[in-house]
Amino acid sequence: MRIAVSGSHRCGKSTLVADLAEALQGHRVIEEPYRLTEEEGHAFADPPSLEDFVAQLRRSLAILEEDRSADLLLDRCPADLLAYLLAHEEAEAFDVEEWLPRVRSAFRGLDVVVHLPIEQPDRIPPASGEDAVLRSAADHKLAWILLDDPFDLQIEVVTVEGSRRSRAKYVLDYLGCARRR
């Protein structure tokens, strides 16, 4: 299965990906686009610019377009970057319609998106200096994108909350059911 773990920053995506990778032997983990883009030489602004999020979206799409491996675990997916782009203070400069054909095509290469919303109380509060407003706005946009599906992505989404252990168990139980279909 090709599984993406999706959520705003500091919600436990990387931890859940690591836990799932341990349980799902044979699945290859793909790091989040931020890290991959940074390793490729992109210098991110602080705070991140609209162009920084576009670069990450481009990288996220390239991963799904170029890697056709059957068993992948992705830390983030294009929906995450769309959410940040739509929540950014310069969002009006981003033309989402221009990107949708490519985004829809990339989503056809995923089996399921595991959505991690910000919980109340917040399990991993933002560190000092982080933009809590952007994080919250991106969280809301991401839920809208994944659950309301305004862009017709037609992706299976499972939302998980709770402790680290319960999140992994829930996803693994869900995937067990999904595999029997």
Instruction: Please name the helix (run of DSSP H) or strand (run of DSSP E) that holds residue 24, with its range, or none.
Output: none
Q: Is the pLDDT at 179 greater than 60, yes or no?
A: no
81 CB burial (10 A radius; 0-12, 13-18, 19+)? buried
- Span 72-120, pLDDT tens digits: 999 999 999 999 999 999 999 999 999 999 999 999 999 999 999 999 8
As beta bridge partners, residue 157 has 113
As beta bridge partners, residue 6 has 115
Q: Give residue 53's identity as a one-letter amino acid code.
A: F
Q: What is the CATH number of the domain that holds 26?
A: 3.40.50.300
pLDDT band at 121 (very low <50, low <70, confident <90, very high): confident
Residue range of the domain that includes 50: 2-179
Complete DSSP assignment for 110-173: -SEEEE-PPPSS-SSPPPTTS-HHHHHHHHHHHHIIIII-TT-----EEE--S-HHHHHHHHHH
pLDDT band at 177 (very low <50, low <70, confident <90, very high): low
Instruction: Please name the helix (run of DSSP H) or strand (run of DSSP E) that holds residue 176, with its range, or none.
Output: helix 164-179
User: How many domains does the chain contain in total?
Assistant: 1
Complete DSSP assignment for 42-75: ----SSPPHHHHHHHHHHHHHHHHH---SSEEEE
pLDDT band at 180 (very low <50, low <70, confident <90, very high): very low
Single pTM value for the model: 0.94
Three-state secondary-structure class, residue 36: helix
Mean pLDDT of the chain: 94
Angle formed by the axes of helices 78-87 and 50-66, nearest 10°: 160
Residue 80: per-residue pLDDT: 98
Distance of alpha carbon 100 from alpha carbon 180, whole angstroms: 32
- Span 5-34, pLDDT tens digits: 999 999 999 999 999 999 998 999 999 999
What is the chain's Cα-based Rg? 15
Q: Is the pLDDT at 181 greater than 50, yes or no?
A: no
